[in-house]
Amino acid sequence: MPVTTDSSKEWLLQQIESSKNSPAYGNYLEIRDFVLRIMDANPHQDASLYWQEELTGFDYFLDASPLLVNKLRHQCYHLTGIRDYEYRNHHREKAQEAFHNKLAALRRFDPEGRLLVGESPELGGFGFQIDDFLINLDTLKFYEVLIGLDRAGLLAPFSRPVGETSERKAILEIGAGWGGFAYQFKTLYPQSPYLIVDLPQTLLFSGTYLKTLFPECRFLLVDEAQPTIDKSMLEEFDFILIPHYVWPHLQMEQLDLAINMISFQEMTSGQVEDYVARLSGWGCPNLYSLNRDVSSHNTELSSVSGIMARYYDLKPVEILDVAYTELKVPVKKESQPDSRSWVKWLRTALSAKQRKKIKAQAQKRQEKERFLYRHLAGSLKAPC
């Protein structure tokens, strides 16, 4: 420990006092006041059983010390499971090559590097240094989603310059976690207002993080007394934070894209339906999802894609043949024969018993796929 005064205690007090006066801690206190207020307004937790348990794991952050806030990213493992310990120097030799290879595989979809944003070192940001970027598993996940959005053609409207004849394009993220994807998106598209709807305790992380990294941006903290977000607000504010319980009463005049990563799979069927149905009712033209259809630890969900498909036409977005959680990129398999000729051969060359066995295996694979992460781009269905 770097002792710079006559005693460790004096050094510690100096560090605490310095951190108390930091912008990060001031932002934390402001966002915490908002979070406590909206928690009082919604005292009964209506989160899924999965999230009710998760929330109890980081309630300590409601009373965080200044030193803890200055290392906020080290506390975000509650939200994505990524720990700074795994990225310390003594792990570098063993792990960095895998990260380098995964990043290289993703870069093939983005050869000019337009969409790559590394982790910020602010607030204890961590990762392996690759080229000029700080890279961790969250970084790669967000980069993969940006690539998916680009391949689906959903980023083009955000790239157009804002002028007299074009409005600022708005994006809403349902369940933004610690705010990492919002940081990347806002870095790439600074003119776009970014809306977040989330559980109050989670907004404490994303609100503090984004307010610290974007000190010049304007923030709107929405409560139940202000359920309408009109176009003038989208022009005035850069970030809009919305507690989840306001969602059923929320009215939105303009929304160009909604996105969800790895949290639809943690909700109940009714909650996913509420989100998707309201987006459809607002006329939100595009909805992007990176989720499992079902999650093995969530018994309250039927099917993410099944619910989305009631309101949006879905198109799978193919990127890598490996989940975002996996670093090893498999060698691409040779293309399979045409399915029609395969079926014809199956009917003529195999016995009934063999055909039955193959069909059973196919059904097992189909069932297994429900637990795989899938990129889905949804376009709003035309009214009947």
pLDDT digits (tens, 9 = 90+) for 7-35: 888 888 888 887 888 999 999 999 999 99
Of 120, 192, 198, nearest to 155 by C-alpha is 192
Question: What are the structural domains of the chain?
Answer: 89-162+169-322+371-380 (3.40.50.150)
Average of per-residue pLDDT across 82-111: 93
pLDDT of residue 28: 97
Distance between terminal CA atoms of the chain?
A: 67
Average pLDDT score, the chain: 88
Burial class (CB in 10 A: 0-12, 13-18, 19+), 337: exposed
Model confidence pLDDT, tens digit, residues 222-239: 987 777 899 999 999 999
- pLDDT recorded at residue 295: 83
Rounded CA-CA distance 14/5 in Å is 9
Whether residue 170 is predicted with pLDDT greater than 60 in this model: the reply is: yes
Q: Are 294 and 302 in contact (CB under 8 A)?
A: yes
pLDDT greater than 90 at residue 165? no
What per-residue confidence (pLDDT) applies to 341? 62
What pLDDT, on a 0 to 100 scale, did the predictor assign at position 277? 97
3-state secondary structure of 1: coil
Alpha helices in the chain (DSSP H): 8-20, 23-41, 49-55, 66-70, 77-80, 89-107, 137-151, 156-159, 180-188, 200-213, 231-236, 269-282, 304-308, 339-349, 352-369
- Predicted local confidence at residue 65, as pLDDT: 94
Share of the chain above pLDDT 70, in %: 86
Can you tell me the distance from the alpha carbon of 290 to that of 100, in angstroms, rounded to the nearest whole number? 23
pLDDT over 80 (residue 2): no
Average confidence (pLDDT) over 347-360:
62
Task: Return d(Cα 286, Cα 260) in angstroms, integer.
Answer: 11
The pLDDT of residue 80 is 93
Q: Distance (Å, rounded) from C-alpha 78 to C-alpha 98?
A: 24
- How large is the C-alpha radius of gyration of the chain? 23
DSSP 166: B
Give the closest residue to 168 by CA, choosing from 254, 227, 281, 282: 254
pLDDT score recorded for residue 339? 55
352 pLDDT higher than 90 = no
State pTM to two decimals.
Answer: 0.87
Interval 50-61 mean pLDDT: 87
Cα within 13 Å of Cα(48), Cβ side: 19
Q: How confident is the model at residue 297 (pLDDT cuts 50, 70, 90)?
A: confident
Q: How confident is the model at residue 343 (pLDDT cuts 50, 70, 90)?
A: low
